[in-house]
Amino acid sequence: MKLSLKPHPKTRIAAAIGAAIAITGASVHATEPCDDFGECKVLVEVNSSDGDIGFHFLGDADDLRAMRIDGPDGEKVFENGAFGPLREQLLTENFGESAEPLCWFDPDEEEDWEDVVTLRDFVDRWEAGTYVFSGKGENGEKLTGETELTFDLPAAPKEVNFDGTNISWMAGDDLGNCAPRDAEEAEQNGVEPIADVLDIIADPELVPVAAYEVVMEPDVEDGDPIGDEIFRVRVSASTTMVDVPTQYLMSLPDDTPVKIEVGAIGFDDNATFTEEDGFCVNEVDGCDDEEE
């Protein structure tokens, strides 16, 4: 799951029915404004179902020629610049995300252990603290800003369900495959249980949730245009159910398989998602996934 720091390019259906989903709740606390930048943030995103983990960043300012990010130890972690026609047009926002390696040994995948980045490995790689954004403006002026990276990771939502009209979920208590609460499951996954990683992260069950992000996406083959018709909404932390707009459901063909993602978003913008598939929209003959 890719956290929607900015509106997703595939949300044409959701955008078209924006008035029908005006249930968005409290906004997440980002470093905004960020000194000379309009916005800057760094965050950790965990997919508790797939069991992967990544680093995301966003820097936004007017008329940039270049941008750079340095970690708490002063080491450069990102840099880019505008060239050719882009140098004439100039940049505004720079968004990026790292690769998202598995944080557990998935028995259904042929992953080598050397490709697995456990939660402890990830924390060792990315230092918590102040990340400094710097940029160069149109006339060479220097821009700077600072934001914080923490390892306050909210627990993954659980019991994600769709009844044909509503998407519902419950607050969770761990990070799923990245750090399960059950010690036996953790041993099977080749990771440490929550109890053994609380020296490097906050207890996810105790991390306050600022908002939930809910996504419904057709589970179709790549290239199928229906896959672009995505419903996405962010709601307050007090909400555990959303109504999927009838206009959106009616826009999908009969027997459309869909997958649903629900993400807990922390006040530091860190996010933990849970993904469930096997749901069927406008069921007539049944979705292929169910028939199999």
- Domain topology for 12-291: Immunoglobulin-like (2.60.40)
Bridge-based pairing of strands 271-281 and 129-137 is unpaired
Confidence (pTM): 0.85
Sign of the four-CA dihedral 222, 4, 142, 72 = negative
pLDDT band at 51 (very low <50, low <70, confident <90, very high): very high
Q: What pLDDT does residue 214 have?
A: 98
Strand-pairing partners, residue 76, are 70
Residue 222's pLDDT is 87
Average pLDDT over residues 268-292: 85
Contact between 104 and 118 (Cβ < 8 Å): yes
Q: Mean pLDDT in the chain?
A: 87
- pLDDT tens, position by position, 111-126: 566 789 999 999 999 9
Q: What is the pLDDT of residue 112?
A: 64
Task: Read off the pLDDT of each residue in 205-220 and give the average, rounded to a whole number.
Answer: 97
Q: What is the mean pLDDT of residues 10-14?
A: 37
pLDDT the model gives residue 1: 56
Q: Please check the confidence at residue 56 and state whether its pLDDT lies above 80.
A: yes
For 16-26, the pLDDT digits (tens) are 333 333 333 33
Band of residue 33 on the pLDDT scale cut at 50, 70, 90: confident
Distance (Å, whole) CA 232 – CA 102: 25
